[in-house]
Structure 1
Amino acid sequence: MASKKSPVDTAVAEQKPGWRSVLFQPKVITIIVVLSVLPLLQSLSRKSEQKLTTQPTYQVERSAITLADRPDYVPADLLDRTWQRAELPERFSILEPGLAEKLGRAFEQSPWVREVKRIQLAYPTTIEIELEYRQPVALVRSAEGFYPIDRDGILLPPSDFSASQLPRYPIVENVRTLPRGPAGVHWGDLAVWGAARLVDLLVPEGDTAKYWKKYDLASVRVYGEADLETCSIDHLHQISYRLITRGGSEVIWGIAPGVTDPTEPNAETKLKRLNLYYRDFGGLQSEQGPVEIDLRRWKDIARRPLQMPGETRTR
Structure 2
Amino acid sequence: MGRSTQTPSGLLGLGSPAGRQLLLCVVITAAFLLLMIAGWNHYAEQFAVREEFLLSPREILISTPPAWIQSDVLADAVEKADLPDQLDLRDRELTNKVASAISAHAWVRSVQKVVKQYPAKVLVEVEYRRPVAMVEVEFVDEGAVRRGLIPVDIEGTVLPPGDFSRIQANDRYPRIQIDLKRPMVEAGMKWDNPRVAEAALIAAELLPHWSDLKLNRIILKEDSGQHYELELTDQTRIIWGSPPGKELPQETIAKHKVQVMLQKAAESSLSSHEAQPSLDLRTAGRAVTGLNPVHR
Verify same fold: TM over 0.5.
yes
Partner of 1:295: 281
User: Does the 8 A contact of 1:94 with 1:121 survive in 2?
Assistant: yes
Given candidates 122, 129, 133, the residue that maps to 1:134 is 129
2:253 is the alignment partner of 1:269: no
Matched positions, count? 248
The amino acid across from 2:188 in the alignment is G
Cα distance in 1 between the residues matched to 2:165 and 2:45:
47
| Displacement of 1:246 | 1.2
Given candidates 182, 186, 191, the residue that maps to 2:186 is 182
2:246 is the alignment partner of 1:251: no
Partner of 1:212: 210
Given candidates 278, 288, 313, the residue that maps to 2:265 is 278
The amino acid across from 1:149 in the alignment is V
Cα distance in 1 between the residues matched to 2:74 and 2:276:
48
CA offsets 1:66-85 (integer angstroms, 9 cap, x no match): 21232122234111111111
Cα distance in 2 between the residues matched to 1:48 and 1:224:
74
Given candidates 167, 190, 202, the residue that maps to 1:198 is 202
**Compared with structure 1, are the counterparts of its residues 294 and 260 closer, same or farther at alpha carbon in structure 2 (3 Å cutoff)?**
closer
Partner of 1:160: 163
Partner SS state of residue 283, structure 2: coil
Cα distance in 2 between the residues matched to 1:46 and 1:285:
81
Cα distance in 2 between the residues matched to 1:58 and 1:214:
54
The amino acid across from 2:258 in the alignment is L
**Compared with structure 1, are the counterparts of its residues 190 and 46 closer, same or farther at alpha carbon in structure 2 (3 Å cutoff)?**
farther
Partner of 1:240: 227
The equivalences for 1:75-94 within 5 A come to 75-94=70-89
The normalised TM-score by structure 2 is 0.73
The amino acid across from 1:197 in the alignment is L
| Displacement of 1:89 | 2.8
The amino acid across from 2:64 in the alignment is D
The amino acid across from 1:295 in the alignment is L
The amino acid across from 2:259 in the alignment is K
The normalised TM-score by structure 1 is 0.69
Cα distance in 2 between the residues matched to 1:46 and 1:240:
72
Partner of 2:111: 116
**Compared with structure 1, are the counterparts of its residues 53 and 220 closer, same or farther at alpha carbon in structure 2 (3 Å cutoff)?**
farther
Partner SS state of residue 134, structure 2: strand
Cα distance in 2 between the residues matched to 1:97 and 1:186:
32
Partner of 2:6: none
User: Does the 8 A contact of 2:199 with 2:243 survive in 1?
Assistant: yes
| Displacement of 1:298 | 5.8
**Compared with structure 1, are the counterparts of its residues 71 and 223 closer, same or farther at alpha carbon in structure 2 (3 Å cutoff)?**
same
| Displacement of 1:122 | 1.4
Partner of 2:12: none
Query: Any unmatched runs of 5+ in structure 2?
Result: 1-38, 140-147
Given candidates 102, 106, 126, the residue that maps to 1:107 is 102
Partner SS state of residue 176, structure 2: strand
Query: Any unmatched runs of 5+ in structure 1?
Result: 1-43, 226-236, 310-315
| Displacement of 1:299 | 7.7
The amino acid across from 2:211 in the alignment is K
Cα distance in 1 between the residues matched to 2:53 and 2:274:
73
User: Does the 8 A contact of 1:52 with 1:58 survive in 2?
Assistant: no
**Compared with structure 1, are the counterparts of its residues 46 and 80 closer, same or farther at alpha carbon in structure 2 (3 Å cutoff)?**
farther
Partner SS state of residue 117, structure 1: strand
**Compared with structure 1, are the counterparts of its residues 50 and 254 closer, same or farther at alpha carbon in structure 2 (3 Å cutoff)?**
farther
The amino acid across from 1:270 in the alignment is K
Cα distance in 2 between the residues matched to 1:124 and 1:283:
64
When the two chains are superposed, the root-mean-square deviation of aligned CA atoms in Å is 3.0
Percentage identity across paired residues of the two chains: 26
User: Does the 8 A contact of 2:115 with 2:123 survive in 1?
Assistant: yes
| Displacement of 1:215 | 0.6
User: Does the 8 A contact of 2:178 with 2:195 survive in 1?
Assistant: no
| Displacement of 1:64 | 2.3
